[in-house]
Structure 1
Amino acid sequence: MGNRLSKIVTRTGDAGTTGLGDGSRVTKDCLRIDCIGEVDELNSCIGVLLAETLPDAVRETLLSVQNDLFDLGGEICIPNSAYISENHILRLEEQAGRFNAELSPLKNFILPGGTRAASLAHLARSVCRRVERRVVHLGNSEPVSDFARKYLNRLSDLLFILGRTLNQAEGRGDVLWVQNKGS
């Protein structure tokens, strides 16, 4: 990668096209590039969350997710490739189960909020849901791995659980939704 990344300013995209990992060129507004950008945005949201003080287990989980998301971006960048596997999904399910076991059962809907770290986890979750929708949309017209879609679905669940976990770690409860019954 060193030689590939030694020149960052290439001017090859000045005409509104960009290169995919297979060497083909597409317009920068095509759905595949949109999905790659959305995955990058999600990874950046997780990077902001990682700038917070976090429990070690949460930090390790999120660092692993960031690497997975880089793989997912690569998978989308190279049509018909597959880097996300069932093992990735099983790992997310195991982590979600482990963190969720430490939380009280939900009896109400909760609002995204509480501590700054929990709020950032919820923001990442909502971005993850958007990425999932865009990848599903891409899959309606081009091949997309079932594992990629499942991974994003499980990741949004995990991020929800981590939001609750981070509030609990700081001694805060969930921010409960209170139905507005009008004035």
Structure 2
Amino acid sequence: MKIYTKTGDQGETQLYVNKPQKVAKDDAIIECYGSLDELNAQIGLLSARLQADELGSDSDLAMLAAIQNALFSVGFAVSASSTLAPDAVVDLESHIDVMQADLPPQTSFILPGGCVAAAQAHVCRTVCRRAERRMISMAKHTEVSELAQQYVNRLSDWLYVFARYLNARAGVADVPVSR
């Protein structure tokens, strides 16, 4: 398969939903896809960072791989039909609960940062929030899977808690926002 087709040289791209259609490269659906793709790449970077720092457990790495695969399903759900597992949101919530049980209570807003892996998790969280905003913008014009929207919303929560969890594992305390 050739990677270049030259069909996008004029600012349009092919979208495959129920039937192929051309859309502008800045269409809301392409903006949403782009944010989901960027999020997936950032999560890949987080996974690589965890492996390089030997900070991530096998369970952490498996969860990140599952999230990356789920993001492809979210992308499919945005354009056509969802292949996202119905229990995907519940799985994220369960992992959040397990991680939070090992964390000290949060009493204030915290600054993104800490160890490098946690800082990367915060970057992933902010990209996830943007992807969610793009998805909501798109939903004003076309049908978007409610499950996909819930998943992306919950994923940003998971990434936030995961950042705190990674800092705790690395022995780095949360830094409260000073007012």
**TM-score past 0.5 threshold:** yes
Partner of residue 129, structure 2: 129
Residues 1:63 and 2:49 are matched in the alignment: no
Aligned-pair distance for 1:36? 0.3
State the secondary structure of the residue aligned to 2:16: coil
Residues in 2 aligned to 1:17 and 1:93: alpha-carbon distance in whole angstroms: 38
TM alignment of 1:17-32, pairs within 5 A: 17-22=12-17, 23-32=20-29
TM alignment of 1:22-171, pairs within 5 A: 22=17, 23-53=20-50, 54-56=55-57, 57-76=59-78, 78-79=79-80, 81-171=81-171
Aligned-pair distance for 1:21? 1.8
Residues in 2 aligned to 1:176 and 1:60: alpha-carbon distance in whole angstroms: 30
Aligned-pair distance for 1:178? 1.3
Q: Which runs of 5+ in 2 are unaligned?
A: none
Residues in 1 aligned to 2:6 and 2:142: alpha-carbon distance in whole angstroms: 28
State the secondary structure of the residue aligned to 2:166: helix
Residues in 1 aligned to 2:154 and 2:7: alpha-carbon distance in whole angstroms: 36
1:13 pairs with one of 8, 15, 18 = 8
Residues in 1 aligned to 2:15 and 2:101: alpha-carbon distance in whole angstroms: 41
> TM (normalized to structure 2)?
0.92
State the secondary structure of the residue aligned to 1:175: coil
- Structure (1 or 2) with the greater helix fraction: 2
Look up the equivalent residue of 2:63 and give its one-letter code: T
Residues in 2 aligned to 1:58 and 1:166: alpha-carbon distance in whole angstroms: 10
Q: Which runs of 5+ in 1 are unaligned?
A: 1-5
Name the count of aligned residue pairs: 172
Look up the equivalent residue of 2:47 and give its one-letter code: L
> TM (normalized to structure 1)?
0.90
- Tell me the C-alpha RMSD between the 2 structures: 1.2
- How many percent identity over aligned positions? 41
